[in-house]
Structure 1
């Protein structure tokens, strides 16, 4: 499972912090020896223990070198060495050696994974905004058979990024209007980009930036207000969904006839009732009218990149290479998919 959360701090800052902590432990050991210098003897100089001697003793002690030229002779000094300085020595080694190796290993491993991910990632889907709409979009993609390693999430929220990583998706934290962040997500190689932000102005700016980096990808944008749809289309969106108007239309249909609202809601809800699906026409269906397709109702045919609705006179026969948009009975997810998708439904 590829997971690329944002690196909070550089390894050099982390090493510097641990180095300062190690110096603090060394200074504490030096002060313990120097303040109790009368309980120590210098077997070489025989001139007492100075501050330099105390620093020297602390250094060779915490690093486990231990030359033995300066030694504690008083019982209480030896007790302090056993109960205080020894734990400080262990802490020094853990901080300076153990954690340093761990930081370098973690950062190195993350850099290697990041490099491998970038080389492999292409023709993927980037979802900008992992809120309610973004999660629902990812949920639909998964139910339509999209693999999790082909979905990349961008969100400004730390909680949303952590949640995306937990769900099994590569995720990046930051402002999606920044080119550097979009490049990290390999937007220039993406097949589709879904933008589901809370503010329309942010969605428009993000669309412009995405389109500059990738002129050919499909860019699907969600906006709150219908009056902003022309601006989003001019910014380069391939398709625009007006969330407030869509919800209002469902409310109106439900008010006119609850059954109409139920059917529309049913088709928009996966794994139960009806669902809308897009697939390639099979060899057996070529040459047949759309009405001859068994078990499904064809409502549209995509031919040479053009949508032809079921009532179009040019869509009376299915041809080779056609993609069918059908309404069918929802396919129940497999046991494995149920475990993966359970988090979306909670």
Structure 2
């Protein structure tokens, strides 16, 4: 009965369920190249694969494990092309999150694209380098620790951040002055932040933008913008978790020097800053999708023998308790 239901699940025209099963099988066989190749063959037999971003993502992960980096790069580019629109770029960023630990893959991409020395910006690892050199120009705030050792005390680990390391204000006043960044004619500046708690009505957050089109400049020549969040503004962000906050000021210059000043008792975390292209009249808040937990859950870590996809929808709780080894089920399929 269990085998029959599993077979019916894959025969059923449910792309998300199939994708979750492929991802689960991938997790169980990450060190088995033969099984990974079998997964790849079955994924490529699906005729409408380009219509499913998650299926492309799973295939990309399989390619990476098999060290087929060129093919993985093509899938990553395809995911970017499918999410060019402003409101969907955040999905592409979430996809890269699931690949960030594969250092050799990012090294391959960097060598093939360019191999600039970015240490003067505090960028010293391959993933950080790729994200900064990519079209969306993501600069991790944790890079600042490599430029200023005093920031070590403000750095925290956070598995939900893109770089896994963030800077936290810890209810203290904080001023961060970033190096001059190349944003390639950015229209907007977007910060990824999490405002956990605002304790003082006199608190505020000030975002500062200085910009120019020339690599050679004097400070007084820079175009200057300021964007201030007062107490009432911050209350709207409090407790929302990780968000992308787009500043309302338009920026039409290649190079930007960004600063952020946190004044008063604010418990706030900062992950990265990036450029934005879509114009809006006001500031904009974008929430992060939970790709890992809601769509491609890491079943193997918390429940190695039971696929969550099957719960309730396909099996009773009693049937779940009597499931045979998951790998046997998958092999049968």
Q: What TM-score comes out, normalization by structure 1 length?
A: 0.28
Q: Whose RCO is larger (CA < 8 A, sep 6+)?
A: 2
Structure with bigger strand share is: 2
Structure with bigger helix share is: 1
**Greater gyration radius:** 1
